[in-house]
Structure 1
Amino acid sequence: MGRRLRRDRHVAPRPMGGHPELDGAELVAWYRDSHRRLLDTLAGAAPDVECFTFLPGPPSALAFWARRQAHETTVHRVDAESARGGASAPIATEFAVDGVDELLRGFHARPKSRVRTESPRVLRVRVSDADAAWTVRLSPEPPVTTRDADTEAECELAGPAEEVYLALWNRRPVPAMSGDPVLATLWRNTSAVI
């Protein structure tokens, strides 16, 4: 994404480059350089820059890419910490709530979402350490998610925002589930982002 955001301003998807054939210290140095270039690009971009985005949500392309890269980095950081063993660094509540929102109302609003049911069903996601809940309406079409708890749900996934965030990305078990466990299993089995 780097220079393309600021210089080229592509408004359509571009092919990704291949993965580097690096390991160990060279891979870490490549990652740090890439991370620095990403931050420089985001910091130097005009607030109204126009470029490709692939999810609904943030008010600008710059806000989209800052948000997307922050959540991408966080989930992969948790993966790396898990592979290393030991505890993961904490994730701030407000950031985790935003990540749940991006996943439910962004990624799973797209036609690519495989979280579907033959007949209409309702799943609730609720965080216990912030005033945030989502109603996910399931059907043969992509899920439709609203930021509310106004509708009766058949299943609820709940817990602290950090734990719900990581559970919805299938990095941790769901902290608490009530109602029909079939919907919790459906999420775990079909929610991988492709």
Structure 2
Amino acid sequence: MEISEHIEAVRREGALLADAAARTDLTAPVPTCPDWRLSDLLRHIGQVHRWAAAFPAKGLSAPPDDADRQAVVGPIPSDAALLDWYREGHAALLTVLSEAPADVECWTFLPAPSPLAFWARRQAHETAVHRFDADAAAGSPGPGVDGALALDGIDELLRGFLLRGRPTVHSEDLRTIRIRPTDGAGSWHLTLSPEPLAVTTEERPEPADLTVSGPAAELYPLLWNRLTVERAGRVELSGDQDLFDHWRTAAAI
């Protein structure tokens, strides 16, 4: 996806998140994020948007420490003003991403063609995934995500998020999972072992222990643990279904 497409996704998904929050009591639980209320979700995403915007806006070369982070995020308002505060941070993030020079230099934490490309992509998926959470709190699903965004978000999760830092997705025995979108070219092949997770998009002739297939728009929230197999009506699991239960526990974000 192009940077402009990721920015448009931030715009759309952020507006849908606000719409879901506006029709829901802030004390409503967020089923997809146990122990959170909707107010906690708005505080989190509002802070993340302000934190993320600071990197391209200020050219930060490293994450701010706790004191500086608080200065970047600013004060968090009372619940009565929380939704407006979220909307302000969302709008400010869009302005920064839209107006930052293409060659801006700043800190990132996943591989990307450029820092601006990284932050636009990361915030597109941060916002989309938490929009699923807001919909869950509201008790009704919103519009499905665009197929291109869904494929991109699956890739960011599998070849980005889950490969950074301390590995959590592993298995005592060698196990393989194939993620196959039915509406997109290619697939992802995951190898779980005592070693860190290995992910490739190269085709493999041998069958995987588990194949997860379905439309990208359902695989995306499913793999980010925002949708259950039971509610993903067009997703099929072929092979060792216990392996998928292991995946959902190990890859929880």
Gaps of 5+ in 2: 1-51, 230-234
Structure 1 contact 122–154 (Cα < 8 Å) conserved: yes
Answer 1 or 2: higher relative contact order, Cα 8 Å, separation at least 6.
2
Kindly provide the CA deviation profile for residues 4-56 of structure 1, in whole angstroms up to 9, marking residues without a partner as x: 3222x1222224437724314x1111111101111111112111111111112
Q: What is aligned with 1:6?
A: 57
Choose 165-174 or 15-24, whichever is displaced more: 15-24
Shift of 1:149: 3.1
Where do 1:74-89 residues align within 5 Å?
74-89=128-143
Kindly provide the CA deviation profile for residues 90-147 of structure 1, in whole angstroms up to 9, marking residues without a partner as x: 1011110000000000011113331101132211111111113100111122211112
* TM-score normalised per structure 1: 0.91
Q: What is aligned with 1:159?
A: 214
Does the alignment pair 1:52 with 2:107?
A: yes
| Sequence identity percentage | 44
The one-letter code sitting in structure 1 at the alignment partner of 2:197 is P
Rate the CA distance shift 1:192–1:34 in 2: closer, same or farther, 3 A: same
Secondary structure at the aligned position of 2:187 is classed as strand
Shift of 1:151: 4.6
Secondary structure at the aligned position of 1:124 is classed as strand
* TM-score normalised per structure 2: 0.71
For 1:151 and 1:66, the matched residues in 2 are separated by 35
Shift of 1:61: 0.7
Structure 2 contact 54–60 (Cα < 8 Å) conserved: no
Does the alignment pair 1:173 with 2:223?
A: no
Which of the residues 59, 69, 92 maps onto 2:123? 69
Residue correspondences, number: 190
Structure 1 contact 122–135 (Cα < 8 Å) conserved: yes
Gaps of 5+ in 1: none
Structure 2 contact 55–107 (Cα < 8 Å) conserved: no
Does the alignment pair 1:38 with 2:88?
A: no
Shift of 1:76: 0.7
Where do 1:139-150 residues align within 5 Å?
139-150=193-204
For 1:151 and 1:69, the matched residues in 2 are separated by 36
Which of the residues 162, 167, 186 maps onto 1:113? 167
